[in-house]
Structure 1
Amino acid sequence: MRAFARRVPQLLHLAVPPSSPSPPHPLLTTFAGLCQRGAFSDAIAAMASLDALGLSADSISYSNLIKLCVRHRAVEQGRLVHLHLTSGCRAPELFLCNSLMGMYVRFGLIDEARQVFDAMPVRNVVSWTTMISALTNLKLDEEALRLLNSMQREGIAPNMYTFSSVLRACPTSASLRSIHGCILKHGLESDAFVRSSLIDVYSKFGDLDYGYRIFNETATPDLVVWNSLIGCFAQGGDGYMAINLFTQMKKAGFFADQSTLTSVLRACTGMVLLEMGRQVHVHVLKYNRDLILSNALLDMYCKCGDLEEAHEVFCRMPEKDVISWSTMISGLAQHGRSSDALTLFESMKVFGPKPNHITILGVLFACSHAGLLEDGWLYFRSMRQLWDIEPGREHYGCMVDLLGRAGKLDEAVKFIADMNFEPDIVIWRTLLGACRVHKNANLAAYAANQVLRLEPEDEGSHILLSNIYADSHQWTEAEQVRMSMRDRRVKKEPGRSWIELGKIIHVFVAGDMSHPQADGIAKELSKLLRRTTTLGYIPDTDFVLHDVGEEQKEESLRYHSEKLAIAFGVMNSSGVKPIRIMKNLRICGDCHAFAKLVAKSERVTIIIRDHVRFHHFKDGVCSCGDYW
């Protein structure tokens, strides 16, 4: 009986059915469906009806609607959603507040995002990280760092995304090391994204060695970390290290992705390593629709001297943007094919995207290096009218170069005087270079003084002025310039040429016969000099800048770095591939004449890239038309 009495409440509970919850309002169901299906306009209209009835939908529907606002870039509708969620003293859930804040960040409305953030009664790591990341992206670095400190004071532990964002806000190496200490404290030093960000930022401060040390501390580095380090060395100018790391990465069993290959191609471009670039091209084939990677490949071939392959890449690209067109136009111009560059530009105007300031630079370069004075003026004057491009210093510099090369030195000086800004050191150097070509010592002295006023230790201007005086046989003035260089301890950068052979770079310095094959090079050079002399080569001693005897001048010319590299290239040439030589300075006129005749006598193609452009020597002719 007592057992039965104990069961009565349970039986009564089973006998009386619980009251069923009232069904949701039909409008709420409709609103949820519209948000889920992505019917944006109808969902906004339904939300207005909810407002009128004082109804609130579920959080998932509102979250979907906020995503639709972001997708449609609907700023005003996003504000309406925000107003709806906070009307009537309602307080949105935490994740909805985070969604609203993220929406405003994506709209670029940082003040409104901050208002949402400041009004939140409770904030989690997502809230703080969203705000810190937004501030970092806007370069509001000090505020981002202050927010990180506030976050930790409130007891919220940063996560890997917080640190990945805030590391970019470090203004000094000291602040970087402080954040690094926080990362260690929170045990996130092994996270791939954090480690990658650390490597990037240490590299930004020029501490590539410490970035490499962080990389080596990784027990099993993943692709993100590999890419970060390779990219840092490529951007930092250490192309050899970037390529070495790429080789190590492949041996470790990692497959290169678009990011890896773009960085390695940048390294090949910077070091002018054509053969290595060709090997990387094989890996690029599976990503042939990646525009950024295709542009990097195109740039590599243009700057490493294989214009034919560059043109093939350009023609095969399924998509071309303004970078693609501009790179190809500049490449053609730098290789002496100015008319082809201008023809391609005309095609771009019809079939391609709108030209930008980089495109016009390539066009003006093409005009300058082909002596197309009228065309250059036409393109320069049409920049504002046709393409709404404001000419920059670089465009003015190209025009000074164009006028100077054409011998219009007085016009160049007037053009500089009429500029609406103060000429910079590059423009004065350009005029100074033109003065040397046209042997105008008086104007050269004026231009050189302008350069030295802006940069008293400028090595190139001292040397150019000395060369101009030497060209004019004004040895006293030339010696005064050299004495000034000695007093200021300004040293002339020696001429260097290098050539890639069997994945090895062979470097030659003017007058230096320390190469392992020096004896063979000297013999080959003597043979080439004999053969070219029969074809009319006469050493141009105007390019020797010291007041010494004629025999000594010829001996000095004999061991210019270009000639040493040409002799080495001919020694190791199969006669099929071009001999490709890179040079740190402008090629001298004597070596230019020598290279033309070697190409003819040995029936080879010689390609020399100096610090301005490419020279293709074939059958006794240069692609520059002797106008460089």
Structure 2
Amino acid sequence: MVDPLTPSQHRQDTFLDHHTHIGEISESHFPFSFDPKFYISALLSCRNLTQIKQVHAQATVNGMLQNLAVANKLLYIYTQYKAIDEAYIFFGSMRERDSFSWSVMVGGFEKAGDYRNCLGTFREVIRSGVKPDNYTLPFAIRACRDTIDLQTGRVIHHIVHKFGLHLDQFVAAAIVDMYAKCGVIEDARLLFDKMPKRDLVTWTVMISAHAECGNANESLILFDRMREEGVVPDKVTMVTVVFACAKLGAMHKAKLVHDYISMKQFSLDVILGTAMIDMYAKCGSIDSAREIFDRLKEKNVVSWSAMIAAYGYHGHGRKALDLFPVMLRSGILPNQITFVSLLYACSHTGLIDEGRRIFYSMWEDYSVRPDVKHYTCMVDLLGRAGKLDEALELIDNMSVKKDEGLWGALLGACRIHGHIILAEKAAKSLLDLQPRNPGHYVLLSNIYAKAGRWEDVAKVRELMTQRRLKKTPGWTWIEVDNKTHQFSVGDKTHPRSKEIYETLKILSEKLELVGYVPDTNFVLHDVDEELKAGILYTHSEKLAIAFGLVGTSEGMPIRITKNLRICGDCHTFSKLVSEIARREIVVRDANRFHHFKEGACSCGDYW
């Protein structure tokens, strides 16, 4: 927001000197000669709403509100103190308004979170014939962003073109941000690439948008391009880049970003430090995450929760729980995120009694009321352990609103234990909430297939066809020689496919000698066993691991990322390969990390 006064005017003496007690402005403090600058200076000196109203009253009595500069400053000060009702009443009484007046009012509503009145006032701007400027427009655009109102956002974009402001740096940056937050990344990028000049904020928005939309690799490409164009990142940008690295899960990139942070001597404060804990944990190095955690001079509840969560999804449930009392002794009280992290650690390590104790202590000991995420963790914990009746009882007795995550956890447990009746109940609730999510249909279809109920499988598939839904394809990524390689099931597009399949064949022969038999339960289709085994043989995880063996030095860890949950057969395969090839294999799937070493997995076969 731009003030109606220049900085030199702002530095003028105020009517409140060091001897005037705050809250005690009265008529005696005002001189006998009145000057607009005096009232503006007085408003700048106000410390609370009472003082603003006193100056407002004196300005009204002395006729100073006929001066547009004074009126605009009063309006602005009201909005700065979030007195939006008083501001709007005064705005309605103003005999004269200019573009700044409208901008203050539109911006005041936006900052107060009153997006309906923000956009309503902006419509009045257009109807009144006042040309919107590069101060008013960003407020209206941000209101569309915060309400994810893409339709109105596009209308405002047309208005921007109509008034020739599409090349304005501030306006264009706001539109890029709006499109990005509304999930239309292509539109955001198209406008971003056309901007003649991009500031640091716009670069940061675009980097963040690509990471949020699942294209973290493009975020890091943009980061390199930004620096090539001479734009120097700040700490906010680096937090965004670290977040993108965490999404990508590429250790090489993580180390490069860490080196850059060290080179530029960015202080490792609680925000950047916590982001780096998450980055290293999601890139597969729990030790590096802990090293950053221990280096932090200041830790808040988010830092502690991030480290607890990291231990949880790496399968170190005991370490996660051991960190909790240390956090309490440091004087940090847990919040809802802390308990989600603790319960998640319990659910993925089979710590049933500990999970129950933590869940019931939330409200009793820490006054933290469980929400649906905590119930979901408990359903997951109980369900994995086969305690489906207890999980269902917990669901039936919960007072918070049930969501798709909760029913999904129950459906997943039903798949593990083959509980058809409960699976149908969970699936019905899931499909009521998310009828267009193909994963729910696939999971139910697999449960039916495992039970041999092929007619029900056919019905589910037909329903998917009618609704034009397709199963999410499985992909696996591996980073070799600082380059990311991607595989799908049966993939033969890689330049080294011949070597990959030869390696797989040799591995399969060696695995058969130690008793490995493909678990065809994980190809739940009505086809013969030989074809099932063939499909399993070319799962994307196996192709990536085979490429890791031929593409990296002997003894080096193999790190892969899977967009879906790793199947049971690939899990067994990875364990045996880690023993035969004497390689550590780290798999990051949609749920957690698996560290395969010497024939065992960090999850203890409990995932």
2:369 is paired with a residue whose SS is: coil
* Distance across 2 between alignment mates of 1:398 and 1:409: 13
* Distance across 1 between alignment mates of 2:444 and 2:194: 52
State yes or no: 1:137 paired with 2:118. Answer: no
Does the Cα contact within 8 Å between 1:307 and 1:331 map onto a contact in 2?
yes
1:580 is paired with a residue whose SS is: strand
The number of equivalent residue pairs is 591
Judged with a 3 Å threshold, the aligned counterparts in structure 2 of structure 1 residues 189 and 510 are, in CA distance, closer, same or farther, namely closer
State yes or no: 1:601 paired with 2:580. Answer: yes
State yes or no: 1:50 paired with 2:14. Answer: no
State yes or no: 1:232 paired with 2:209. Answer: yes
Judged with a 3 Å threshold, the aligned counterparts in structure 2 of structure 1 residues 306 and 185 are, in CA distance, closer, same or farther, namely same
**Residue of structure 2 equivalent to 1:424:** 403
Does the Cα contact within 8 Å between 2:371 and 2:400 map onto a contact in 1?
no
What amino acid is aligned across from residue 518 of structure 2 in structure 1? P
Q: Sequence identity, in percent?
A: 40
1:264-305 superposed Cα distances (whole Å, 9 cap, x missing partner): 333333333332232222332322245433333332222222
| Unpaired runs of at least 5, structure 1 | 1-30
**Residue of structure 2 equivalent to 1:23:** none
Moved more, 140-149 or 423-432: 140-149
1:507 is paired with a residue whose SS is: strand
CA shift, 1:616, in A, is: 0.8
State yes or no: 1:208 paired with 2:185. Answer: yes
1:625 is paired with a residue whose SS is: coil
2:297 is paired with a residue whose SS is: coil
1:537 is paired with a residue whose SS is: coil
- Report the RMSD for the aligned CA atoms in angstroms: 3.3
Aligned match of 2:312 in 333, 341, 348?
333
State yes or no: 1:578 paired with 2:552. Answer: no
Moved more, 353-362 or 97-106: 97-106
Aligned match of 2:540 in 561, 567, 573?
561
**Residue of structure 2 equivalent to 1:313:** 292
* Distance across 1 between alignment mates of 2:421 and 2:514: 37
Judged with a 3 Å threshold, the aligned counterparts in structure 2 of structure 1 residues 149 and 591 are, in CA distance, closer, same or farther, namely closer
What amino acid is aligned across from residue 102 of structure 2 in structure 1? W
State yes or no: 1:397 paired with 2:360. Answer: no
Judged with a 3 Å threshold, the aligned counterparts in structure 2 of structure 1 residues 519 and 412 are, in CA distance, closer, same or farther, namely same
What TM-score does the superposition give when structure 1 sets the normalisation length? 0.84
1:310-339 superposed Cα distances (whole Å, 9 cap, x missing partner): 222222233333332222221211111111
**Residue of structure 1 equivalent to 2:6:** none
Judged with a 3 Å threshold, the aligned counterparts in structure 2 of structure 1 residues 393 and 56 are, in CA distance, closer, same or farther, namely farther
1:160 is paired with a residue whose SS is: coil
State yes or no: 1:382 paired with 2:356. Answer: no
State yes or no: 1:164 paired with 2:150. Answer: no
CA shift, 1:422, in A, is: 5.3
Aligned match of 2:196 in 188, 209, 219?
219
What TM-score does the superposition give when structure 2 sets the normalisation length? 0.86
User: 1:427-442 to 2 correspondence within 5 Å?
Assistant: 427-442=406-421
| Unpaired runs of at least 5, structure 2 | 1-11
**Residue of structure 1 equivalent to 2:84:** 110
State yes or no: 1:495 paired with 2:474. Answer: yes
Judged with a 3 Å threshold, the aligned counterparts in structure 2 of structure 1 residues 84 and 357 are, in CA distance, closer, same or farther, namely farther
* Distance across 1 between alignment mates of 2:446 and 2:126: 64
CA shift, 1:550, in A, is: 4.4
What amino acid is aligned across from residue 133 of structure 1 in structure 2? G
Does the Cα contact within 8 Å between 2:79 and 2:108 map onto a contact in 1?
yes
Does the Cα contact within 8 Å between 2:14 and 2:41 map onto a contact in 1?
no
1:42 is paired with a residue whose SS is: coil
* Distance across 1 between alignment mates of 2:383 and 2:173: 48
Does the Cα contact within 8 Å between 2:477 and 2:484 map onto a contact in 1?
yes
User: 1:212-611 to 2 correspondence within 5 Å?
Assistant: 212-285=189-262, 286-351=265-330, 353-421=332-400, 423-456=402-435, 458-473=437-452, 478=457, 481-482=460-461, 485=464, 490-575=469-554, 577-611=556-590
What amino acid is aligned across from residue 274 of structure 1 in structure 2? M
What amino acid is aligned across from residue 604 of structure 1 in structure 2? R
CA shift, 1:606, in A, is: 0.8
1:347 is paired with a residue whose SS is: helix
Instruction: Indicate the structure (1 or 2) with the bigger Cα radius of gyration.
Output: 1
Does the Cα contact within 8 Å between 2:36 and 2:64 map onto a contact in 1?
no
* Distance across 1 between alignment mates of 2:162 and 2:208: 28
